[in-house]
Structure 1
Amino acid sequence: MLKRIDLFSVLKSCTSKNKQNNDEKVDENKQFSACLKQSLASLGPLILTVVVGMTLGYSAVLLPQLQAHTNVAITINKEEASWVASLAVIPMAAGALIGGVLIQKYGRKMTHIIICFPYCAGWILMYFSFNLQMLLTGRFLTGLCSGIITPATGVYIGETTDPKNRGMLLGGIPLSVSVGLLGSHLLGTFLTWQVTALVVAVFPFIAWLLMTFTPESPAWLAQKGLSDEAQESFYWLRNASEENRQEFEQMIARVKATNNNTNKIDEKNRLKELLEPEFWKPMAILLVFFISSQWAGVNAVTFYSINIMKQTLGESINEYLATFIIDCIRVIASIAQCILIRNIGRRPLALTGGFGTFIPLFILSGFIYSQKVFNIQNPNLVAVPITCLLAYVFFVTAGFVSLPWNLIGELLPMAKRSTGSGIASFVAYMSIFSVVKTMPALFENLGTDGSFLVYGFMALLGTAFVYRCLPETKGKTLHEIEEYFKDSKEDNSKGPLDTRL
């Protein structure tokens, strides 16, 4: 009898373990399925973000070929060359504000779909350009579309992914830009600028095809009162687990409360909503982070990197090789960011990136100053500026300049996410423009060493600000992040989102 009972207990235990293992496998399969669907939903916007990178990198392809007079139909002087280079960046800022309006009115997904066709048209127009006016129009159109895409992508990915996958997929935004820069430079090395434009024109069409199979943001659908469609979209992206059901119910309750408050507020008091802590606090963090990270000089220093390599390695260095090295480091750093942001979180990554940004800049500034003052000509020291430059490019890409783009999709409250993302992207692009515009005067008046010192000091200030103000959002739902900023009276450093390491 005892033997039978023991045998029965063993069989029962084995059955229980098998059932538990089967349940775990089912959960793993559901999680994998949800991750796959969220990745598919993010793929279309990320392909469009690759085109943003190609738009930024296209001037490096276009200008050398035009200035070499290989095209008899279009010839440019130095003044016209500056317009060709800047006419994509200038409309990006305006496009960011337009994008903030479009994603609220027409939806996050629909904004991407709408913009695919003018994006294609801009690149095709450049392919068929037979005069400078057509070329500039194409550059303007692609720059405007790039600006519109920027807030839409961060918000869409942030709202369609769960806390476990959100950081990694938002990290795909800077990775896509880096891939776009590398891709445009590689294409320009082997193809003419016209054929390069034609190849790039295919990417928005591919993104459009992919996005026809993915759902609209559940949060936006809920805001528009489409609760059934929001539920269908949410569960398609996540699966209908108990945890996800609770998160969906929290989202619906938050939307209803927000809509009720909005209906009670007249137009005169609508601006006062922007002074609510759940909006102005994350907005201030984003704006200061954007300005300080852009003024860490990434666009200026990487632009000047070719000259640094020539100064240290000699004039014989191949410019395309030097550009390729920088682009590859950017891509590697962006891949590292996607991995690290999920494993270590936002704050440690931002602080590591900040330290890795200003320390090489200070060393590089001191080295160049010492060379100039003491006339040091030791060939054994060539590795110092090269190492500093490459370390700077890696850390500024992996954890400093790219992180605020990820945070757009996380920090801003749902009710003002469209407005906030447009404003933040506008400030980011204006910061990029101001850095690039002031770069020649800065290098001329302060020298290379002084300019790097300025950029390093701005990176130091940004790092100190991040340490003091940036909360950790790893593993938190968008509702938890919004609640963290909502109560201005409590000490936020002890809330659910910690600002301490």
Structure 2
Amino acid sequence: MNIPFLRQLFVVSSILLGAASTGGILGLPSVLVEQLKKNDSLIEIDLETETWIASVHGFAGIPSIIIPFMMQCWGRKIGFRCSGLSVLIGWIILCFANSSGTVIIAEVFQGAGIKILLVVSMVIISEMVEPKIRNISIVSYGIIQTVVILVVHTAGNFIHWKTISLLMCFPIGLALISSCIWPESPAWLAYKGRFDESRNSFIWLRGKNKQSLAEVNALFIAQREFLHSQLSTKSSKRSKPLMRALWQKISGRDFYLPIFHMFVLLSCYFWSGNLLIVVYAIRIVGKIIENKESAFIAMIVIDVASVIGNICCPILLKYFANKTILLIGGALSIVFLICSSTILYLQETGIVATDSLLCLYSLVGFMVCSSTALFMIPFGIATEIIPLRHRGVAGSLYIILMSVSYTTSLKIAPYIILHLGMHGIFLMYAFILSFCFIWIGKYVPETKNKTLQSIEDHFVKNSKDQKVFTDEETDENIYLNDIK
């Protein structure tokens, strides 16, 4: 029995329980808005309130930028627990909400939680799971999310939104309990110079095979070099002005380049139209199909297409690289967006019948392709390319980018649709994706089956500043041989 693998699976299962609750948060606004619009609803909403219910999760995540700094100081587990607790509080408030203001307050807690929950989940998976199953673990996060979104959208036609909120408390509660069992991240412990604890944590998670020992050896060497350089420059940093020291940090190639890559990667999802369809599913399908029963069935079909895409992702990852799937799936997504835009425009001009299902077929194709390529792969790559030493600041920027992109894309979408039409917003997404994929294809490195240290070396080191670790590396190898 492969005990280390089962232990890694246990850690991933905690993350996936959090993903289930996140899927509920993403799927509920569509159901919530639809139920609140009914005549028998005790809570009344207008267009402005509707857009806030759909988009407030974004801006609500900005205050959680402090969590990555806490994670750098006190560990990854505290970040997971803080984010999970915030999500749980949001669900509990939603269970007792009796006004639109209370609903939005509940979503503020949820928004603050899910943004950092995604970040810390990607960090934990990247640091605690071996490279061979890292990609599968990351995309499994997306699979669980889309399955729960499908379940919530389906259940919303039969179950009250407060009942759904109550059920969603259980997975995140179990995730918080299980996080008390697994150890701290070995990469973070090495970053803090706690090499003995890091070694024990690494062995608990990965065992003592040759490949694992080589990986932890490379991690220790890199972190000892970093800690030595920090000590040697500590006195000089004290004498430098704060702004000058900050500029030296952010002007480093290992900082600004991964950050810009991260911005482009995250834009692939938030400005692709996938999120718009997930959150405004009922409203968008209702614009295409006027019959309510047919629109409900069409919404479920689109959700199923999203699940199919997410299931295809780990299968394709066995045979193809991350960037290959991202670029090919992204290109097909652009094609389907352009087709949807064209069909909707032809329907508006009367060339295509208004009851035609061509646009629905195109949207189903888009959801399959975008869910395969854009739902989780960009988030995984964006996390993997950030050097360990910058994960505090970069984690906060990660949250800011997600929060602003989430709220902005959803808040302005109804108004763009109002002025440009559905065909206009789909065409806009196609142009944005085109620019993103040109950059990714040319500059973003491949991360599949690579250790975090080798990915970091892509940005940190070059042929001119490579250092030879003679005595120190020998000592480290002797140190690790004692583990065997």
TM-score by length of 1: 0.84
Q: What is the match of residue 64 of structure 1?
A: 34
Output the amino acid matched with 2:59. Answer: I
SS in 1 for 2:184: coil
Q: What is the match of residue 119 of structure 1?
A: 87
SS in 2 for 1:343: coil
SS in 2 for 1:98: helix
- Does structure 1 conserve the Cα–Cα contact (< 8 Å) formed by 2:19 and 2:145? yes
Q: What is the match of residue 351 of structure 1?
A: 327
Which of 100, 123, 128 does residue 160 from structure 1 map onto?
128
Which of 358, 376, 397 does residue 402 from structure 1 map onto?
376
Q: What is the match of residue 443 of structure 2?
A: 469
Q: Distance in 2 between matches of 1:286 and 1:336?
A: 24
Q: Distance in 1 between matches of 2:312 and 2:247?
A: 40
In the superposition, relative to structure 1, how do residues 113 and 314 fare at CA in structure 2: closer, same or farther (>3 Å)?
A: closer
Q: Distance in 2 between matches of 1:46 and 1:406?
A: 14
Q: Distance in 1 between matches of 2:69 and 2:349?
A: 53
Which of 243, 253, 256 does residue 211 from structure 2 map onto?
243
Q: What is the match of residue 110 of structure 1?
A: 78
Q: Distance in 2 between matches of 1:87 and 1:282?
A: 28
Which of 287, 294, 302 does residue 326 from structure 1 map onto?
302
Output the amino acid matched with 2:148. Answer: G
Q: What is the match of residue 313 of structure 2?
A: 337
- Does structure 1 conserve the Cα–Cα contact (< 8 Å) formed by 2:347 and 2:354? no
Output the amino acid matched with 2:34. Answer: P
Q: Tell me how large the CA RMSD over aligned residues is.
A: 2.4
Q: What is the match of residue 84 of structure 1?
A: 53
Identity %, equivalent residues: 23
Output the amino acid matched with 2:163. Answer: V
SS in 2 for 1:186: helix
Q: Distance in 1 between matches of 2:28 and 2:51?
A: 13
Cα deviation, residue 270, structure 1: 4.1
In the superposition, relative to structure 1, how do residues 489 and 304 fare at CA in structure 2: closer, same or farther (>3 Å)?
A: farther
Which of 173, 188, 193 does residue 220 from structure 1 map onto?
188
Cα deviation, residue 305, structure 1: 5.6
Q: Distance in 2 between matches of 1:166 and 1:88?
A: 28
Which of 239, 260, 263 does residue 287 from structure 1 map onto?
263
Q: What is the match of residue 474 of structure 2?
A: none
Cα deviation, residue 224, structure 1: 2.1
- Does structure 1 conserve the Cα–Cα contact (< 8 Å) formed by 2:183 and 2:201? yes
Cα deviation, residue 309, structure 1: 4.5
- Does structure 2 conserve the Cα–Cα contact (< 8 Å) formed by 1:277 and 1:485? yes
In the superposition, relative to structure 1, how do residues 422 and 178 fare at CA in structure 2: closer, same or farther (>3 Å)?
A: farther
Q: Which runs of 4+ in 1 moved over 6 A?
A: none
Deviates more, 1:343-352 or 1:43-52: 43-52
- Does structure 2 conserve the Cα–Cα contact (< 8 Å) formed by 1:93 and 1:426? yes
- Does structure 2 conserve the Cα–Cα contact (< 8 Å) formed by 1:47 and 1:204? yes
Q: Distance in 1 between matches of 2:81 and 2:412?
A: 36
Cα deviation, residue 334, structure 1: 1.3
Q: Write out per-residue CA displacement over residues 260-296 of structure 1, whole angstroms, 9 at most, x where no aligned residue.
A: 3334252631442232222222221111122244222
Structure 1, gaps ≥5 residues long: 1-28, 491-501
Q: What is the match of residue 385 of structure 2?
A: 411
In the superposition, relative to structure 1, how do residues 304 and 385 fare at CA in structure 2: closer, same or farther (>3 Å)?
A: farther
Cα deviation, residue 346, structure 1: 0.5
- Does structure 2 conserve the Cα–Cα contact (< 8 Å) formed by 1:126 and 1:134? yes
Q: Distance in 2 between matches of 1:209 and 1:302?
A: 30
Q: Which has the larger radius of gyration?
A: 1
Which of 177, 182, 187 does residue 209 from structure 1 map onto?
177
Deviates more, 1:296-305 or 1:146-155: 296-305
Output the amino acid matched with 1:330. Answer: S
